[in-house]
Chains A and B, each alone.
Chain A
Amino acid sequence: MTYSIKTMSSLFFIFLKLAIATFGGGMAMVPILKREAVETHNWLSEEQFVEMMVVTQSAPGVIAIKFAVYLGYRAAGLGGVFFALLGLSIPSVFIMTFLAALISSGQGMETVDKFFFGVRPTVVALILGVGLNMGRNSLKSFFDFALFLFCLVLLVFFSCHPLLVILIGALAGIAKNKLGPQADKEVAP
């Protein structure tokens, strides 16, 4: 199988954007990732995006690297992985050096604080926006809503590990299919 140079350069630039514009950890990358992978480039369907989230949350490692490996490989094989990782890491040398200089100069902190004052609520809103958007696609029955709320409570109030939530989701899906003759149409073979 051969992959186009165009796909690899798209991957490079997408992860370059992620490296420059995501503040607040791996999950903060999800809004841009979903926009690019599902809407702009059609590399993944909505269902496959859920698959990506499940696999990346289940494996050990840095979340951003898992996204780069997953999407890079899906879109353009090992070459795609390489270019995605390259895009993800190139800005960091410059940004880290720049920030180190800014901090040691002593006057940078105030500017950084002000910038973050605007950025932090935006990141929360964008992550929430993607969550609601995914919810519209996948929460269709009472079972879906109940499971969603249960997992949400576990995560927010009990600081439950994401992997445990993934396991609960999978088991609940299987149990529902086994127990209920009224199982969803999509589940029936």
Chain B
Amino acid sequence: MIIKTFLLFFYIGVFSFGGFYASLPLVRHEFVDKLGFLTVSQFTDIILITGMAPGAAGINAATYIGYKLAGILGSFAAVLGIALPTVILLIPLMGLVVKYREKPVVKAAFCGLAPAVVALVVGTAVTLGKDTLVDIKSVIIAVIALALMRYTKLHPLYIIFGFGIVGLLL
């Protein structure tokens, strides 16, 4: 069971282009439809819980499903499985970047990549913000958080939990 868990998550790791949520149909197909390891309602619960848990959705789901299937060792097998394709793929890719970083064409590419990456980060904020900043209170929280980040040395972790507590008190 542990080896099976590992292999299944390895498979999911290989095919999860675009993050964990993009691979949900695959997870459902493997664990619910094909193997029957999880019921539809267990699967829905897992999505609900990973949605509110902090950290990486992929890791959260992997540890949780792994745990349900084969205990703590199942959790480790699942995480190892989902992470291993990334380790195998990413490290050579990093080597390539280091090797070719000084080439003129790569330098030129990075001139365009820098603005594109800024757009990715700002774009994420805008997309999330469209659904999140919906009333006066949430806008005020966002403005204060932005100011705290910009003008103080406060670690983002404290800002996040600080406003979580503010949310509980409001």
The interface of chain A, by Cβ under 8 A from chain B, is 17-27, 29-32, 35, 47, 50-51, 53-66, 68-70, 73-74, 81, 85, 88-89, 91-93, 95-97, 99-100, 103, 111-112, 114-132, 134-135, 138-139, 144-145, 147-152, 154-156, 161-162, 165-166, 168-178, 183-184, 186-187, 189
Q: Is the CB of B45 within 8 A of A103?
A: yes
Q: List 16 A-B contacts (CB under 8 A).
A: A20-B55, A51-B97, A60-B86, A60-B89, A62-B13, A93-B72, A121-B141, A124-B125, A125-B141, A125-B146, A128-B129, A147-B116, A155-B119, A168-B112, A169-B114, A169-B116
Instruction: Report the separation of the CA atoms of residues A116 and B53 in the bound assembly, to the nearest whole angstrom.
Output: 10
Shortest CB distance B86–A (Å): 4
Q: Which of B55, B90, B114 contacts A88 (CB 8 A)?
A: B55
* With A21-B157, A126-B149, A187-B107: A95-B60 Cβ-Cβ less than 8 Å: yes
* With A21-B157, A60-B17, A92-B53: A54-B119 Cβ-Cβ less than 8 Å: no
Contacts of A55 in B (CB 8 A): 90, 93-94, 97
Residue of B nearest to A93 (CB): B63
Contacts of B59 in A (CB 8 A): 19, 62, 64-65, 88-89, 92
Shortest CB distance B83–A (Å): 5
